[in-house]
């Protein structure tokens, strides 16, 4: 049984960018707890995701990414013809609240 192309692309990107063993990168792997990504890693991931999906990743979308499956879903949605589906609704004109 072959793995879906998007998962393979995401796994390869994460293995390269974060120097992770590919076998650690599973669909249910949690980005921060299981793969031990930190906030700097999250920014690096955003840069790579934007290159892959050809659009800006908004902060609420980034915050919604908890697992590798979430990342794969974002990429799949962006690759679907004619659709750009953010994981969470974009909010305009609000500060980050920090």
In a domain, 25, yes or no: yes
pLDDT the model gives residue 83: 52
Other Cβ atoms within 10 Å of 85 Cβ, number: 10
The CATH number that applies at residue 23 is 1.10.1200.10
- pTM equals 0.78
Note whether residue 89 is domain-resident: no
Residue 96: the pLDDT is 42
Domain count for the chain, please give it: 1
Q: Is residue 98 part of a domain?
A: no
Position 15 in a domain:
yes
Sequential pLDDT tens for the chain (98 residues):
456 899 999 999 999 999 999 999 999 999 999 999 999 999 999 999 999 899 999 999 999 999 999 999 999 988 886 554 444 434 444 444 43
Alpha helices by DSSP H, listed for the chain, are 5-18, 39-53, 59-64, 68-79
Is 84 domain-assigned?
A: no
């Amino acid at each position: 049984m072959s793995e879906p192309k998007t998962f393979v692309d995401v796994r390869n990107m994460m293995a390269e960018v974060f120097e992770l063993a590919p076998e650690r990168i599973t669909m249910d792997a949690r980005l921060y707890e299981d793969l031990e990504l930190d906030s700097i890693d999250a920014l690096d991931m955003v840069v790579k995701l934007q290159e892959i999906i050809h659009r800006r990743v908004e902060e609420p979308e980034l915050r919604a990414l908890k697992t590798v499956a979430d990342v794969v879903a974002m990429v799949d949605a962006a690759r679907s013809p004619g659709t750009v589906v953010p994981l969470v609704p974009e909010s305009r004109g609000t500060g980050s609240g920090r």
